[in-house]
Amino acid sequence: MLNFKTNRLLIYISSFFIIILVLFAVFRDNSESITLLEAKKILNEKSVENVVVTKEYVFLKTQNGLYKIASSQVNPSMFEGYKVEVGNESNIILYLFLLVFILGLGSLGIKLLLNHLNKDLPSLRQSSRPIMGESVRIESIKSDVGFDDIGGISDVKVELEEIIDFMKNPKRYKSFGARLPRGVLLVGPPGVGKTMIAKAVASEADAPFFYQSGASFVQIYVGMGAKRVHELFNAAKKNAPSIIFIDEIDAVGKKRDGQRNDEREATLNQLLTEMDGFEASSGVIVVAATNKIDVLDDALLRAGRFDRRIFVELPTKIERASILAKYLDKVPHSLDVSVVANMTVGFNGASLAALVNEAALLSLRQNDMQVTLEHFEQVKDKVMFGKKKLQILSDKQKQYRITYQAAKVIIATYFDIPFEKLILSNERLTPATDEPFIKHELENRVKMLLAGTVACSMRYSEHSSSAKQDLDEAKELVEKMINEYCMGENIYASDNEKETTMNKLYENVSKLLSSLSSVMQRVEGDLNEFESISKRKVKEYLDEIL
């Protein structure tokens, strides 16, 4: 690919040749040379319309064309009776300069117009992909998010407060021989608030905040990604102390595996070079976020680049309560946030924000004065799994679904698996999580996933295809228990240990459901009538017989 300067030079050269061709077409001499005899013949025929005399030629214009003869060959008496004009050869040069002036004036006008449009539409320029050779102006933003606006990040806050203090009081650390970390890598699943944390750091440090996504560096033109990285770091250094935040850095910082991708590697190399080029006094720190640290290039993770890694995990119950309290601050309610926190296992910060918003919207739709726990129970599944409408089922298919879901909700309540409410239209009851589990907790989850299939097989000797998702998750959990977590009979699993474990859990569920047949009937009756049931209600039924 051609770089910017070469491309601009080619444009200028092409424009010059186009102007030459236009001038040649306009001013070229298209007259036909004739002899003295031919000239006399044309004059005698009285077909000449106009005679123009110049220093070198006499031009005879007729209806058939334009003819010329050397001035030295003619006699002025030949043109008696004709109107003779004296031509000025300097007119051609005058026309040439006039044309060049008009073209130059037009180019200047177009340039001024484009500059005016660029000033009026800055957001459009920033949102569009830059064309080849275009330099996008990188500007800082002022963050209005502080740590007080974010709940449930106490551990992360401790790690970052030191960096904030360093940016505010650099002399204190330099006098002690300490240096500012060059890079901080925030690692965690999507939706836990990594971007908000970076903005909070910039706000607390009162520093300019330069935001870029990793994808914005991946250009279709060779060299443009590296150029953008260079411009970003230059802008940050000019505004130091400042913070550069690169979201989803794995888009540009993936491991170099030998496969050819010159642009991505050039951009990564430029990023590594810029981070190496930091001076101790530069006052610039790079904060990056990713949920795939395992795919990042080792050169990015070595000391001297991203010196500090901070893991931002899914919030715990106490942290969820803190986050909910922040979001409910302006929502009318009389809720105990710990109850809502208890029913939102597996939710990240973004999901909790969506949950509060959906509950508030539902409250408005129902014309209620404040948000209640019932509102949260009604919208929880919508936020977690998406809104689903019960499929049009035949009476027999619906009965299969009721039996299947009744068995799941009973086993989940029996083993106290976290959930609040089951809706008939949702196949899933609780989200899968990667939290550390004890062996019996994993087995209980597998039992819950198998319960629907077991109940349908016991009553109808068959089950429906909708059990696939639960069965796949059950198989995956047993696979991990035996092969990854070494929860089988031996550290090294035997060939049939997975099958043995699954069959054992299946039999346990079958025996348990047989002993709870009366509870099954009551739960199925509620699901048939209301198409939903709460954990609290199922627990009441279980307490009556246990």
Lowest mean pLDDT among 82-86, 203-207, 229-233: 82-86
Paired tokens of 467: 């059990």
State whether residue 284 is helix, strand or coil. strand
- For the chain, how many structural domains are there in total? 4
Please check the confidence at residue 523 and state whether its pLDDT lies above 80: yes
486 and 376, same domain (yes or no):
no
Quote the pLDDT of residue 259: 60
Residue that has been written with the tokens 């079958």 in this structure = 510
First to last CA, the chain: 77
Quote the pLDDT of residue 219: 57
Secondary structure in 3-state letters for 346-412: CCCHHHHHHHHHHHHHHHHHCCCCCECHHHHHHHHHHHHHCCCCCCCCCHHHHHHHHHHHHHHHHHH
Helices 497-515, 468-479: crossing angle, 10 deg rounding = 130
- Contact (Cβ atoms closer than 8 angstroms) between residue 32 and residue 65: yes
322 and 306, same domain (yes or no):
no
Quote the pLDDT of residue 475: 93
415 and 470, same domain (yes or no):
yes
Cis peptide before 241 (omega within 30 of 0): yes
Q: Which of the pair, 80 or 170, is modelled with greater confidence?
A: 170
Residue that has been written with the tokens 């228990």 in this structure = 481
State whether residue 67 is helix, strand or coil. strand
- Residue 52 domain flag: no
Cα-based angle 68, 73, 74 (whole degrees, multiple of 5): 80
Beta strands in 188-335 (DSSP E): 209-213, 242-247, 284-290, 308-311
Range of the domain at 425: 395-545
Cα-based angle 475, 460, 456 (whole degrees, multiple of 5): 35
Distance CA 119, CA 524 (A): 66
CB atoms within 10 A of CB 238: 11
State whether residue 170 is helix, strand or coil. helix
Plot region of 258 (φ>0 → left; ψ -120 to 50 → alpha; else → beta): left
268 and 284, same domain (yes or no):
yes
412 and 507, same domain (yes or no):
yes
State whether residue 175 is helix, strand or coil. coil
- Contact (Cβ atoms closer than 8 angstroms) between residue 543 and residue 414: no
CB atoms within 10 A of CB 411: 27
- How does pLDDT run across 274-333, given as a tens digit for each residue? 777 655 556 788 888 888 887 888 888 877 778 788 888 778 778 888 888 888 888 888
Amino acid at 216: S
**Farthest-apart Cα atoms in the chain, separation:** 137
Q: Which of the pair, 93 or 148, is modelled with greater confidence?
A: 148
For range 376-398, the mean pLDDT: 68
377 and 268, same domain (yes or no):
no
Of 298, 316, 292, 166, nearest to 241 by C-alpha is 166
298 and 163, same domain (yes or no):
yes
Give residue 507's pLDDT band: very low, low, confident or very high (50, 70, 90).
very high
Lowest mean pLDDT among 93-107, 176-190, 259-273, 303-317: 93-107
425 and 375, same domain (yes or no):
no
- How does pLDDT run across 421-476, given as a tens digit for each residue? 787 766 677 766 666 678 898 999 999 999 999 999 999 998 888 888 899 999 99
- Residue 335 domain flag: yes
Residue 355: partners with Cβ closer than 8 Å, 6 or more residues away: 344, 347, 376, 379, 380, 383
Quote the pLDDT of residue 208: 83
- Residue 88 domain flag: no
- Residue 24 domain flag: no
State whether residue 242 is helix, strand or coil. strand
